[in-house]
Structures are given as C-alpha cells and as structure tokens.
Structure 1
Amino acid sequence: MRLKQKTEIIPDYDQKIKQVTADIAKTKKIIDQLSLIRIGLFLTEILFFVLLLRSADDSLRTLIQICLLLPVIAFAFVVRRQSQLDREIDYKKQLLWIYQNEWNILNGAANGYDHGKAFESELHPYTSDLDIFGASSLFALINRCSTKSGNKLLAKNFAEKSTREKILRRQEAIKEIRDKIAETYSFRANLHGYDPDKIEQIKIQLKHQLGAQLEFVKGSFLRFYVKMVPYVSIVLILAALLISGAFWKVLALLVVIHIGWNVLLGSKINKVFYSFGGSSNLLNGYASAILWTENQNWKSSYTLDLLDSKIPVSKEIKGLTKIIENFDARLNIIVGGVLNALLLWDLKCCINLDIWYKSSSKDVISALDHLGDFEELISLATTAYNQPDWVFPVLSDGFSLSGIQIGHPLINENLRVSNDFHLEAKPTVDIVTGSNMAGKSTFLRTLGINMVLAYAGAPVCAETMQLSVFSINTYMRIKDSLNESTSTFKAELNRLKMILDNVVKDKDTFVLIDEMLRGTNSRDKYLGSKVFIQKLIAEKTPALFATHDLQLADLIIDHSETVRNFHFDIQITAGEMKFDYLLKLGPCKTFNAAILLKEIGLTLD
C-alpha cells in the first residue's frame, strides 16, 4: 500500500466527511418517507375498520376482515425497516464523528477522546515531566480508545518499560494496521458513543456474578416445564375455542400460577435483567467490532496472539444480544405481562442465558478484553498514518541513542525546530548550558517523549532514530506540597533519591535533568549538582543535564572521557534577542538575563 503524503491526508478526511454527511441526509429522507407511510397505514386500518362496521354479514365482510390484517403486517415491516435505518444513522453519526475528529487533530484542535488525566502521577519516573498524560499531552494526541481497557493499555505502554522483542513485534503490528487504516474507522465507529462503564459492568457480570445469579433456573423440573409451557398454553387456548369454554377457567388458573411464580422469583430475575437490560445496541456494536477483527487477514504475530478463540466470538455475542432483546420485552408492561402469563417469558430468557453462559462466556470475556488491545494498536497506527514524515526507530541490541532531526511531537510542525543528537559508544553525562528560553528544557523533553513513543512501538517525530531500551528517569518540574508539608528542596531530594535508587537497580537507566536543586543556595546547588554528576559517571549512567551553572561545564577537564558539553545560545542584534533553538557543541558563551532585567528597568554593572 502506498502511504499518502501529508498534503493528501486532510483533503481525504474532508471528502469522507462530505460523503458520510450526504449519506446521513439521504437516510433521514427515507426515514421521513417511512413515517408518512406509517401514518397512511394507520389511516387505512381505520378505514377498513369503519367499512367492517358498516358491512353486512357476507363475503364482503370476510374480505374486509382479511384486509384488516394487511396494514398491520405492512406496519410491522415498516417499523422494522425504520428501526434498521435508525441504527444505520446512529452508526454513520459515529463514523462522521471519527472523521471529523481526525480532521480536527490535524488542524490543531483538541482530540475528542480521553486525554488520560486519570493516569497523571508526579511520582512516576518521567510521565509528568514529559507531558505524557493530561491536557495537551502525548496521550491526548495519540489516544483513539473508547473502552476503558484500551485507555489503560495505552497508558501502560507509555508508562512501563518494555523489551526489544516486544517493541519489534508491536512495530510490525502497528505497521500492518496502518496499511489498512481505512478499514479501522468502522471498527472505531462501532465502539464509540457508548457508555464505557456499561461494558465494564457486563464483563464483571460475566466473569464473577452471572453463574451464581442463574442458580435458580438450574432445576430440571423448571427447565422441562418452561420448555413445555408454550405447547400447554396453545392446547388450552385451542381447546377453549373449539371444545368447551371450561378450558378458559383452566387457562386462567394457569395464568395465576405463572404470575405468582414470576412474582416469587422476581428479585432474582431482576438482578439478572438489570445487569444486561437495554444493552442490546451496545453489544451489537461490540459484536460488529469483534467481527471486524475476525475477518482481517492478519499477518503479524502480535495481532494473531490476540485472537485466541477457535470459534467466531462475534456470533456468540450476537446470540447474547438476541437473548437480551427478548428479555427487554418485559419493559413493555402489556407485552411482558402476556408473555410471562402464557409462556413464563422471563424464566425462559434466564434459562437461555444460562445455556449461553456455560458455552460461550469465557470466549466472549476474552474477546471483549482484546478489543482494548486493538484500539490501542489502532491509536498508534492512526498516528503513523496521519504523520507519514515520522519514522519507526531502529531498536538496537547494544548501547545506542542517535537521531537526526528529532522534533517535539506536541509542537506544531510550522513552529517546531528539530535537532540531531548522538550518544557516544559508552555512557556520558552531557551538560547542556544556555540562556533562559533558548530551548534547553524543550530539547530534553523532545528526546524523552520520542523515546516513550519508540518504546510503545510507535513512529517517532524524527528523520531517523536508533536506540536501545532504556529506563527513563527525569527531574524537571519539581513542586512543593502544602498538603504533605514538603518544601521544594525536600521534594527535589526525594526525586534525586528515586533516581539514584533506580540507577543502582537498573543499569540501563537514562536520566534527563533540568536545573537541579533550585530550592537551595547557589553554592550548595553547584556542589550538589557536581557530586550527583560524578555519581552518574561512577554508575556509568547516560544523562542529559541542563543547567545555567557554567561551572559545571568545567567538569570536562577532569572527566574528558565521560562528560560532554552542549549549549543553546542567542543572537543579539541591536539589543534584541533572537533564538534559533539549535543544539551546539561546547559550553554557552552568551546569556540573556541582563537584557531581560534591563527591559523591566534593572541594569547590571
């Protein structure tokens, strides 16, 4: 499959939006026409009824009686067709939302999916500092998950260390889905628009509760009687009509017994029903999504492992949906009352549910869980499709990190400045100096956030990138906490201890630090930073260390093999500052504090 160029993608979404909008309008027009037909059939039924009242007792009357059935039958077909079209419109509205959302994201608007605020944690080694979760985050840019399991899985793959083997398998799966991205929109539309808590409730019900709740229908006599009761009711009705009116009394007694039986078991029936009631549309949508996963000719081993059922699970869910649709008949007091009185309808539905549960529930639970896996892969594959200039990084066995034109994925491409960066063959601590606002912090976050993307199996915002698997640790946004009576300095010490502990536990740690020990005096800040860098050197831990303290750049004198200096500078023309945001070798020589202070009326000698 030829990947679309960036200039083709937005117009393609434009076209899809126009097409679906036109389809919705066309379908609505048909529904309006069917509504008029329903009114016509209703009026026709009234007309036949009037004719029946005025007709004599002859063959014409018999014909009119037959004709009375025709509008009713036609009305039933029209209602059924209208219901199908209503569901079709609901689906197309979700599909329109999907296309519109992609168009919005590519044009700089917010993603309509969850932005992952629930996963934020300042205690995590890097997610808070690198803007992984929350508003305007990586998660907010990438996420295309409607289910809770999909959101959790995407968050997990952004927040936990992986292995090279798993990353490579995920890359293969994401590339495969990217190449069939046009087919994923229907999958997403079938899952979007439903309450994610409802499906979680159903999964919990299937896993832990339903078996015990259905114990009351396991008796052999009850099952036999419920199976036979339709025949008993039909025989009694026919006997009453054709033989003797006495059979009406027997039927009435039977109805009273049935109603009493339903009342007696009502609390148990309700417990089963209210776990599933009204969820037939949701399950139909999920069944369609699962059917999509079953019908694809998957090649990647990672995706094939998600299809662990030997039978079509979509059919099993359709079977559950049919039972629930039948069960929903009890919501109509008149229909439900008649069905329970004559057929013990609720008990029949519970028995059918128990039969289904024994044969199909395990496969369905697994398939529902795996929907989140597909959503998570589709999220990353959609980003790969929408950003054809991004590349899948090369995962190295040995110590490695290098990239050409690495850019920050959360910065608009028209404003983004990209940089090259390469580690040496052995670990070094790279000290990055420079002026305020020159780009030090952004560069550290650029490197870190692209590493997170790489380890999730996703493409990175770069021209090329090669890296080995590191545990990322960061020290950037350190805040005090009034609730925990923690000063800024204490919070900084806690963060440093966490990093040091992780460095000792995991020799593949990579550290990103932005201006260490802000909460203490300049002398202690320098000495503390110096000993921390020396500790990282001793542990052979690679690090980028952004600082305003030029003295730290002198560490290269005593550690020429393990310390490197980089900087971001400014150009001053006619007293005005200009930033190019480009990483350069060596320590910084130009700073902007004096110029900024002068702008507010303070002059340094």
Structure 2
Amino acid sequence: MFKTQSEVLAYYKEQINQCTQQIGLLKKQINRHSVARLIAMGIEILFFVLLLSSKNNTVIVFWSITLLFPVIGFILIVKKQNKLISQEEYERHLKWVFENEINVLTAQGNGYGNGQDYNNEHHPYSSDLDIFGPGSLYQLINRCATQKGKDELARNLDTEKNKREIIERQEAIAEMNGVIKKTFEFRAKLKEHDGNKIKLIKQKLNHSLQEQLQFTKNIYLRFYLNIIPFLSFGILLIAIVFGGKFWSLLSLIAILNASLIFGFMKKINQVYFGFSGSSGLISNYADVINWTEEKEWQSPYLARYLSRKNKLSVQIKDLSKIIQAFDARLNMVMVIILNYFFLWDIKCCIDLQKWCDKASDNVVEGLESISHCEEIIAFATLHFNHPEWKTPQIEDDFIFKAKAVGHPLIAPEKCIKNDYEFETHPTTDIITGSNMAGKSTFLRTIGINMVLAYAGANVCAGQMQISIFKILTYMRIKDNLNENTSTFKAELNRLKMILANVIEHGNALVLIDEMLRGTNSKDKFSGSKVFIEKMITLKTPTLFATHDLQLSELEDQYPQSVRNYHFDIQISHDEMEFDYLIKKGPCKTFNAAVLLKQIGLDLS
C-alpha cells in the first residue's frame, strides 16, 4: 500500500492511462466486427440471389442450406461485438471511477453525491459539523450507487454505536482496504445502477411474479411448447425441398402460434413489466455478488452480510439470461419470427417460472447485500486515499487524546494540526481568541473526527484514543421565518435539546461556539456562565468557544473543572498572521480593531 497521498494520486493517473489504452484497443476491435457484419450480410444477399436464379431442385436445396451459414456467422459476430461493446463500456466506467477519485482528492467534487437530502438542522450534530451537503464529510466519503447503500452510509454517520459495533466496522474496513483494487472494479460494474429499476424488480420478485406466472403451469401448453421448435424447423426443411402444401402447413402453424401469443398477451405483458431492458443491470449485480461470494471474509461484519452457503450470483445470472432472451420482443422483426414459430414469449415466461421454483428465497436479500458492501467500500476508499490517517483506539474509560489532529475537509497543504486531550475527568474547556483565529474550526475538527471514529473509519490524526461520547453541538444557530422562530428562540430551543440529552445520557459531550448571540451582552455573559456551571454540576465535558474574556475567569472559581485555551494572532504594521495552533491560557491579543480599521472605522 501507499504511504503518501501523492503516491495515491500517481496510482490513479496510471490506471486512467491504462483504461484509455484499453478503450482504444476495444474500439478498433468493435469497428472490425462492424465490417465483418457487413461482409456477412453481403454474402447472405449473394447466396439469396443465387437461390432465386437456380432452377434445379438439387441446387435450390444446396443454396437453401448454404443460406444458414452467413446467418449463423452474422449472429456470432453480433454476439462477439456486443461483448466487446460491454467491455468498452466497463472500461469507460472504470476510468470514470479513477477520475472521480482524483476529483475528490483535489476538491473538484464527487460524482456520487453529497447527501444533501439527509441534512437535518435538528440533529444533535450533523448540521453543525458539516456531515451532509456540499463540501461535507458525506461528500468526501460517499462511493455508493444504490439507494440503500447511500442510506446505510448516512445512518452510520449520524447514529450512535457501541464499542463492539465500532470495532467490528474497523475490522471490516481494514479487510476491505486489503482488497481495495478489486473494489474499483466492483464500483465500475454498478456505475449505471438504476435504483428505480432494481426497486421494481425486488417488489416483483417478492410479491406479484408467482401469481402472474400461474398460466405457465398448464401441462398442455408446456407439451406443445416442447415440440413446436422441432415441428416448425422440420416442416420448414420439408417445405424447402418439396414446397407446395408444406408451405401452407407452415403458415397454418404460424397462425396457430400467433393466436396463442395474442391470447396470452395480457398475462405475458404483466410478467415482462419491470424486467424490460434490465438484463445488463442484473448481470452486473451477479458479477459483483459473485466477487463477494468467492472471497472468504474474516471480519464478522462482512461475513454476516456477504458470506452465504447458496451461490446467489449464479441464480441472479440465470435471471439475467432469461430477461435477455425476453428482450428479443423489443425487436419487432425478431419477435414476430420467434413467436410465430417458437412461441418465444411463452417460453421465456415458463423459463422464468422454473427459475422462481428453484431460485433461493434469499435472492432479494442478495441484491440488498450489495448496499452493505459498497458502504464499507466507501470507508475503505477513504482509508486508501489518506494513508497517513490512523485508526483510533476505542476505550472503555473516559478519555480523548489526539496527536496531530486536523480537519478532514481541509486540504492537507492548508490543514494545521494540533495536539489536544481531555483531563482524566470531565472539564469545561473555554477557548478564547480573535476572529478567524481558528476557534470554530477547532471545535468542528474534534467533532467531525469523533464522527469518523464512531463510524469505524480512520481519523485525520497521527494518533487518537477515545471513549464513546454522545456528541451535542451548538454552532450554526439561525432564525426560521417559516416556523416564526427568532435567532434567540432558536438558540433557546437548541440549549433545551442539549440539556435534555445531557441529563438523559451520561456520556454526553457538548461543543458550543459563541453562545446566545441573539441577545444583549449582559444576558449573554450571565446565560453563558450559568450554562457552564450547569455542565460542571452535571460533570459533562464541554468545549466552549467564546469572545467573552470574562468567562475565562471561571477557571479561578472552578480550578478543577475549567481549563482555558486560546488561539492568538500576531499583528505587525496592521497586518495579521495566524498560526491556528491551540495554546493554554486565555487569549491576550484580539483583532477586531484592526478589522474595523480596514473598512474605515478607526476605534482610536
């Protein structure tokens, strides 16, 4: 594995070049097969002209039989060309996967989506810590194509887990990272995933399909279907040799078969609805499930979702083949020939009914298992892309200790890392400092790395030991005209939520950024002081960022329960320099006067 992100980027660029070369080779082969198709068609036309110009019965039979060879050749060429087209499409998807990784690493967006729909301002922390939406943690991690995979990823970023669950996920992510290069192929197969189509197929398999296929159990229909290919082909050969009434007999069989098809057309359409054009999609599902079945997963989490006795991939592949055959009805000329002489649609329905009888009841479950796999792949990819990040150590006893911890959403070249740890008992850490010095970012750095740790992921730190906390935040408070809520009322609602959770959960951790902004300075100080004292009484660890230096004086009153930290600036010739490093003690240098002077307001 690679040791630096620059090595990871170089690997992706190399893979893109290989895909580009492979796509070029496949294009040439596809073009050659297109020429071969034209040649086969030309030979067929030539043989047909020779047949029409023949007068001798023996010669007529010869050319009639010879006509089959260009047709067979044409079919084989088309089959091979379709395979090459599928391979080219796969290489294009694989190339897109690698290009997308470069885009994510260079902050150019993520083609898998940012999870905006999961954002919830009332959640204990997700909105404040940028878990969902543009520029979010979800956007950094997401590699899920299926809707259930996206839902699983969101759930693991915004719900609590116990120590056993976290460690299981750590093991699963580490194991998946060990086969990371295979996961790129997995994702390429799911690139054109159609969530609505798969949802419809799942519903059909679970509920309506068996009932819709009842008509295929007619023993007379099945008997006739078994003999009709031999009957049609035999009469065709006889008609070619002897002509006359045998052509009329063949026409009669075609009329009878057409009547049967039209008689069952409504039921056939009900069966076919939902499956149309999905053979490639289901085949890709079979391929990715086959990969998960072939590997013997060691981690309990992956073994639980991916290990099974039955080879579901084979059953799903069989379903794909049946649907591919059924899709012949999409070609008007082909469907007339196949139905009038072989009852093709009815044959496909019977094949589907036989598949339903022998297929495992867990096929739908197998389709859904992909979502758990790709959600773990998303975190494994994060691990692969950031080799310098470390796996946090989950502890039972109260602890938070981090070395070189940084914000995962800040570019590595701009990310300033800090060392920080809790006392051996809960304290309120009051963080003062100038505007733009880094207070808010530091709070979010601690919170978002905790979210990563509890999801089982590696964290943006050189080392981390952490116990399990219920994260509660108070940062981006704003009014809501639709709910007739002022900023101050919104702040009170947030405080009420935090207090309720602190009282209910003994493992709460509170992150506060500038409390009570919607009221006057006197009430703001009094309210902040009372809140801090409440946290001290409830023995709840709290990080409290503020501009109010008076609050730092609480350390004198509560020396065992309050600690002071700050972010400072250096001012030289009215220019500010930030180092974004956390330091002990209250802040002594502020920059509001400098900033006001820059816009024309000189406090002096």
Q: Is the 8 A contact 1:309 1:363 kept in 2?
A: no
Q: Is the 8 A contact 2:176 2:377 kept in 1?
A: yes
Cα distance in 2, alignment partners of residues 149 and 560 from structure 1: 50
Displacement of 1:286: 1.1
Say which SS state the counterpart of residue 486 (structure 1) adopts: coil
In 1, the alpha carbon distance for the partners of 2:404 and 2:104 equals 23
**Cα-to-partner distance string for 1:428-473 (whole Å, 9 max, x where unaligned):** 1111111111100000011111111111111100000110111111
How far apart, in 2, do the equivalents of 1:374 and 1:539 lie? 41
Tell me, yes or no, if structure 1 residue 142 matches structure 2 residue 141: yes
Does structure 2 retain, via aligned residues, the 8 Å contact 1:136–1:410?
yes
Query: Do 1:3 and 1:179's aligned partners in 2 also have CA atoms closer than 8 Å?
Result: no
Amino acid at match of 1:428: T
Tell me how far apart the structure 2 counterparts of residues 218 and 429 of structure 1 sit (CA, whole Å): 74
CA–CA distance in 2 between the matches of 1:265 and 1:538?
77
Structure-to-structure mapping, 1:241-390, within 5 angstroms: 255-256=254-255, 258-360=257-359, 362-390=361-389
Please report how far the alpha carbon of residue 4 of structure 1 lies from its aligned counterpart in structure 2 after TM superposition: 4.2
Deviation of the 1:65 alpha carbon: 4.6
Q: Distance in 2 between matches of 1:265 and 1:530?
A: 79
Q: 1:43 and 1:226, CA in 2 relative to 1: closer, same or farther beyond 3 A?
A: closer
Is the CA contact 1:116–1:155 (under 8 Å) kept in the aligned structure 2? yes
Cα contact 1:439–1:568 (8 A) shared by 2: yes
Report how far residue 235 of structure 1 moved: 7.1
Deviation at 1:352, TM superposition (A): 2.2
2:294 is aligned with what amino acid? N
Maintained 8 Å contact 1:287/1:318: yes
Q: Secondary structure at the match of 2:543?
A: strand
- Distance change (3 Å), C-alpha of 1:331 and 1:546: same
CA distance in 1, matches of 2:261, 2:63: 40
1:100 CA drift (Å): 1.2
Q: Give identity over the alignment, percent.
A: 50
Structure 1 range deviating more: 50-59 or 558-567: 50-59
Residue 424 of structure 1 and its aligned partner are, at CA, apart by 0.9
Distance in 1 separating the partners of 2:102 and 2:480: 40
Q: Name the CA distance, whole Å, in 2 between partners of 1:198 and 1:543.
A: 48
- Could you tell me which residue of structure 2 aligns to residue 477 of structure 1? 476
Q: CA deviation at 1:191?
A: 0.7
Matched, 1:129 2:106: no
Q: Within 5 A, what are the aligned runs for 1:590-601?
A: 590-601=589-600
Distance in 2 (alpha carbons) for counterparts of 1:62 and 1:267: 41
The one-letter code of the counterpart of 2:159 is E
TM-score by length of 1: 0.94
Q: Distance in 2 between matches of 1:302 and 1:509?
A: 27
Amino acid at match of 2:378: S
Residues 245 and 40 of structure 1: CA distance in aligned 2, closer, same or farther (over 3 Å): closer
Separation in 1 of the partners of 2:224 and 2:44? 39
Gaps of 5+ in 1: none
How is 1:89-108 mapped onto 2 (pairs within 5 angstroms)? 89-108=88-107
SS at match of 2:379: helix
SS at match of 2:306: coil
Tell me the CA shift for residue 225 of structure 1.
4.9
Structure 2 letter corresponding to 1:43: G
Instruction: Give 3-state SS (helix, strand or coil) of 1:564's partner.
Output: strand
- Name the counterpart of 1:588: 587
Residues in 2 aligned to 1:384 and 1:522: alpha-carbon distance in whole angstroms? 45
**1:520-599 pair list within 5 angstroms:** 520-599=519-598
Q: Which residue of 2 is the match for residue 463 of structure 1? A: 462
Quote the offset at 1:336 in angstroms: 1.9
- What secondary structure is seen at the aligned counterpart in 1 of 2:273? helix
Q: 1:172 to 1:99 in 2, by over 3 A?
A: same
Tell me the equivalent position of 1:14: 13
Counterpart CA distance in 1 for 2:409 and 2:200 is 35
How far 1:230 moved relative to its partner? Answer: 4.3
Q: Aligned partners of 2:122 and 2:37: how far apart in 1?
A: 62
The SS at the match of 2:570 is strand
AA aligned to 1:390 is: W
Name the CA distance, whole Å, in 1 between partners of 2:295 and 2:91.
Answer: 22
| Secondary structure of residue in 1 paired with 2:145 | coil
1:549/1:218 CA distance change after superposition, 3 Å: farther
User: How far does residue 223 in structure 1 lie from its aligned partner after superposition?
Assistant: 4.6
Between the aligned partners of 1:41 and 1:347, the Cα distance in structure 2 is 31
Q: Is the 8 A contact 1:435 1:590 kept in 2?
A: yes
2:28 is matched with: 29
CA distance in structure 2 between the partners assigned to 1:223 and 1:47 by the alignment: 40
Name the SS of the counterpart of 1:398 in structure 2.
coil
C-alpha change, 1:594 and 1:367, in structure 2 (3 Å) is same
CA 426–227 in structure 1, closer or farther in 2 if over 3 Å, else same: farther
CA shift, 1:423, in A, is 0.6
Give, as a single letter, the amino acid of the residue that structure 1 aligns with 2:24. A
Give the letter aligned to residue 95 of structure 1: L
Q: What does 1:189-204 correspond to in 2, within 5 Å?
A: 189-204=188-203
Alignment of 1:217-256 (within 5 A): 217-219=216-218, 222-227=221-226, 229-230=228-229, 255-256=254-255
- Amino acid paired to 1:364: V
CA distance in 2, matches of 1:93, 1:285: 15
Q: Please tell me whether the aligned partners of residues 57 and 241 of structure 2 are also in contact (alpha carbons under 8 angstroms).
A: no
201-210 vs 12-21, greater mean Cα deviation? 201-210
Q: 1:397 aligns to what?
A: 396
Partner of 1:275, secondary structure, is coil
1:206 and 1:361 in contact (8 A); partners too: no
Distance 1:289 1:215 in 2: 32
**Distance of 1:524 and 1:217 partners within structure 2:** 78
Query: Post-superposition shift, 1:113?
Result: 1.2
Tell me the secondary structure at the aligned position of residue 305 of structure 1: helix
Task: State the AA in 2 paired with 1:194.
Answer: H
Aligned length, in residue pairs: 604
- CA distance in 2 between counterparts of 1:520 and 1:405 reads 37
Instruction: Name the SS of the counterpart of 1:136 in structure 2.
Output: coil
- Equivalent residues of 2:2, 2:8 under 8 A apart: no
1:180-233 per-residue CA deviation (whole Å, 9 max, x = no partner) reads 211111111111123222222222222233233334444555555545554565
For residues 58 and 218 of structure 2, the distance between their equivalents in structure 1, rounded to whole angstroms, comes to 53
| Deviation of 1:345 (Å) | 2.6
CA distance in 2, matches of 1:366, 1:162: 24
* In structure 2, C-alpha distance between the alignment counterparts of 1:489 and 1:91, rounded to whole Å: 55
Q: Give the corresponding residue for 1:115.
A: 114
Is the 8 Å Cα contact of residues 164 and 395 (structure 1) preserved in structure 2?
yes
Distance in 1 (CA, whole Å) between partners of 2:61 and 2:3 is 68
